Amino acid sequence: MNNWRFTFIITVFFLIMAGVWARLVYWQVFAADDLRQQAADQRLTIVEMPGTRGEILASDGFPLAANRLNYLLWANPKQNVWNSKWDEISRLLPASDSAKLSEKLSWTNLSWVALSSQISPQIKDLIEKMDLEGVGFDPRPVRFYPEGSSSAHLLGFVGQDAGGTAKGYFGLEGYYDRKLAGRGGKVILETDAFGHPIVISGQNLFPAVDGQQVQTSIDRTLQFILANQLTTGLAKYQAKSGTITVMEPFSGRVLAMVSLPNYDPDHYQQVDDAQVYKNPVVSEFYEPGSTFKVVTMASALDAGVVTPDTKCPICKGPVPVAEYTIRTWNDKYFPDSTLTDVIVHSDNVGMVYVSQKLGRDTQLEYLHRFGLGAPTGIDLQDETSPVFRPDRNWTEVDLATTAFGQGIAVTPIQMLRSVAAIAAGGKLPNPKLGADGGESQRVVSETAAAQVTQMMIKAVENGEAKWAKPAGYTIAGKTGTAQIPVAGHYDKDQTIASFVGFAPAFSPQFVMLVTLNQPQTSPWGSETAAPLWFSVARELFRYYKIGPDR
């Protein structure tokens, strides 16, 4: 019996020892890394030291996005004794920092302690006047936007990510976030169980690296002109929203870009609908209407299937396409029109003829050449693009309506870029604000571009908007009026009115697109977007010192 009891006790003892041994092996081998990290987390205090965010500059070097200085207040407890001045400082600090002030100053064995990271320049001046030894300030920049709302869609804003780190969102702030942000630094302090610094462990300092500047092509004067003109235009034509964009046609440099309504990037948190953050010029899709006719015409001229003097044999009346009937915008028809007349009259039937002459494969090839159906690559974070259906799925009706800008969706920057190619002698530029867009790609010949330019000049001089044209200037342009698709059909009353053009026509310094969403005074681009375009152009002529033609 005694042997049995002895054996039982020994067995239990060895089982207990085996369990202890197994637990020790688990802690020391399998869980060692996790336990080591937990121990480090308990004894280490990390003070973040963010770098200064790079500024975004206009073409003249003036900051569009800059940094307003706040400061981090620090002290060397070894050089300070508690006195009444610290009571006064405590009242100047945010409540969360003030509550910890006494404890932090008691860490007299440490040479550097962060007291508050939310010190304004005014509070800094008050503390400096107290003349305390061992007190210092490190700059902590806060983002602000000197140009205010006029450049909000261009710039975006700086918010915080899920971890509380500053991060750029939308526009240039989002696109160039890594370049602008630089790299944050930190101070690592080892503390005891009560949070007091362990002196013998020392401090590890990893300095911050400041972000880089981004120089842009934005002209502040033009940006101001566009903002004022669009504000006036929206009120005058009672439009829901609108955009104006100005670009250099040969380089692709965007000189100004304004969208309304906008928001205040200094107080972006006050926006109720986050959709307003997106820049409509690069993110909103619309059917361009008749402005797109110049792209189709340039394609047909380049392909050699028509000439400007080609007669339109089907322009005597409505034309059937599959189960549909295509009509002109005003139900007026011009038999035996030349294709120049088709552009001047903005004749949808004439454009159906151009589409038929191009043929399915060639028309689709030119759509791809002009970069449509894909992002332009502009350096704005929120750019998106409508995606075209596969080539095999395009029907005869799709091709016919696309020829005059219905049934195809583009963004304003895509439309502007396509017309810039005509202004630039047939080379498609790469839009850019702060980066090198790379080489332009030839999409049509110089001859085709020159022929379409002449057509656009005649459209301005003899078209529906000729009454608004600045006298004495040669301008190439085209109006557009597109119905808005809603739930599988077109709204009968609401339109997007637009005008795109460049000037001076034979040596263009700028190409510009104006869009007005749902103008109420008139649905037609010739009576809303075109006069607004010409009004802006007058100011650009004065700014660039461009005189009338001799």
Residue 406 maps to a domain: yes
Residues 371 and 308 in one domain: yes
Beta-carbon contacts of 381 under 8 Å, excluding residues fewer than 6 positions away, are: 156, 168, 169, 170, 171, 172, 173, 174, 175, 177
pLDDT given for residue 223 in this prediction = 96
Residues 420 and 397 in one domain: yes
CB 402 within 8 A of CB 288: no
pLDDT given for residue 433 in this prediction = 95
Residues 300 and 360 in one domain: yes
pLDDT given for residue 215 in this prediction = 95
pLDDT given for residue 47 in this prediction = 61
Cα first-last separation, the chain: 128
Among the candidates 215, 237, 272, a domain finishes at: 215
Residues 93 and 175 in one domain: yes
CB 336 within 8 A of CB 346: no
pLDDT given for residue 83 in this prediction = 59
Residues 93 and 230 in one domain: no
pLDDT given for residue 87 in this prediction = 76
pLDDT given for residue 491 in this prediction = 78
User: How many domains is the chain partitioned into structurally?
Assistant: 2
Residues 149 and 226 in one domain: no
DSSP per-residue string spanning 12-54? HHHHHHHHHHHHHHIIIIISHHHHHHHHHHHHEEEEEEPPPPP
Residue 14 maps to a domain: no
Among the candidates 176, 200, 215, a domain finishes at: 215
pLDDT given for residue 196 in this prediction = 55
CATH number of the domain enclosing 392: 3.40.710.10
Among the candidates 157, 187, 215, a domain finishes at: 215
Average pLDDT, consecutive stretches of 10 residues, N- to C-terminus, the chain (550 residues): 67 70 64 56 59 90 90 78 69 79 74 79 86 79 87 92 83 94 70 53 65 94 96 97 97 96 89 89 95 98 97 95 90 94 96 96 97 96 94 95 95 98 97 86 98 97 92 96 80 90 96 97 94 97 88
CATH number of the domain enclosing 91: 3.90.1310.10
Q: What backbone phi and psi angles, to 5 degrees, belong to 310? A: -60, 135
pTM of the model: 0.81
Residues 139 and 208 in one domain: yes
Residue 426 maps to a domain: yes
pLDDT given for residue 203 in this prediction = 54
pLDDT given for residue 344 in this prediction = 96
Residues 462 and 429 in one domain: yes
Residues 227 and 335 in one domain: yes
pLDDT given for residue 461 in this prediction = 95
Residue 33 maps to a domain: no
Residue 19 maps to a domain: no
Domain around 536: 220-544
Residues 236 and 373 in one domain: yes
Q: Are strands 476-486 and 254-260 parallel, antiparallel or unpaired?
A: unpaired
What Cα–Cα distance (Å) separates residue 510 from each residue in 251, 280, 454, 501? 10, 20, 17, 9
pLDDT given for residue 510 in this prediction = 97
